[in-house]
Amino acid sequence: MAIHYIAEQEELEQLTEDLRHKAEIAIDLEFDRNRYRYGFNMCLMQIYDGADCFLVDPLSDNLNIETIFPPIENPDIQKVVFAFGEDLRLFHSMGCFPKNLYDLDIATSLLNFEPASLTNLIEEVLDVVVNSSSQQSNWYRRPLTDQQKEYAADDVLYLLDFKEAVEKQARERALTEWIEQENAVFNHLDYSDEDHNNLIKDKDKNDMTMFEWFVYCRLIEFFDEVAQSYNKPVYQLVSKKLVSDLAQNPHKVHQWEDTRGVFRQIKTADFRSQLQSTLDISINEAESRGLS
């Protein structure tokens, strides 16, 4: 079994053509969601066709990842996956709507397996020990290390065999139709309108008044725009705790350049002026709404 790293358009076009003739493939994604950079972004796509493994680099300047979307959307090709919820959201945000998914997480749940990671389930069902040491890697880094490539490949290499073992149990327990029905739900989901970067959570209200909460939300929106301009997640610029403190104590903006825990490039008088303006506008709007 060979592992092929796909970073050129010609290679991707050949892979796409080859996949058109497959009945099933295993697929997984490595992505970053506001951890190392701003936004929800695909960093690697892994595909196993039963013979070879392909690591497709969506960050390569030499290919267009949308080229491979047609076989992923083709309902005649079954895509074997595991816990595919976030992956599906990412695909939808990119305009790709995968069809005919067989999620092994759903299947094992209906078969009453104990909740477990893919690594542990593969060991339990197939008696194969899989490397999981690169799970928290920065998948933006290029070139990928051999360890990262091995980890990424392992995420798909055993899915087809795993599915075969699971289907055997499902047939023996007359659960095949139920599993198929549950997986068919994926075909009708649409996450394309979701805001994957929404940072405003009700749990962050704590003891803030409605007035302070309104100002806090406006500040979060402001910092979100700033973070996007730097291609960094908001937490790398400023903490929610600090934003909350500003919303409750607006006068602290005058100490901005001396505030600890702030991204160095925005600890300037110019940025303080922008922040002050945002605060003033937010406070005036809160007052005009009669909030207290």
Q: Residues with catalytic annotation?
A: 28, 30, 87, 151, 155
What distance in Å separates the CA atoms of residue 131 and residue 108, rounded to the nearest whole number?
Answer: 21
In angstroms, the CA 93 to CA 41 distance is: 9
Residue 243 contacts by C-beta under 8 Å, 6 or more apart in sequence? 216, 219, 220, 223
Burial of 159 (0-12, 13-18, 19+ CB in 10 A): buried
CA dihedral 183, 188, 189, 193 (to 10 degrees): 160
Sign of CA dihedral 6, 147, 154, 33: negative
Burial environment of residue 120 by CB neighbours within 10 A (0 to 12, 13 to 18, 19 or more): middle
Residue whose entry in the numeric block shows the structure tokens 């899989």: 130
Please list the residues that pair with 76 across neighbouring strands.
none
Query: DSSP state, 76?
Result: T
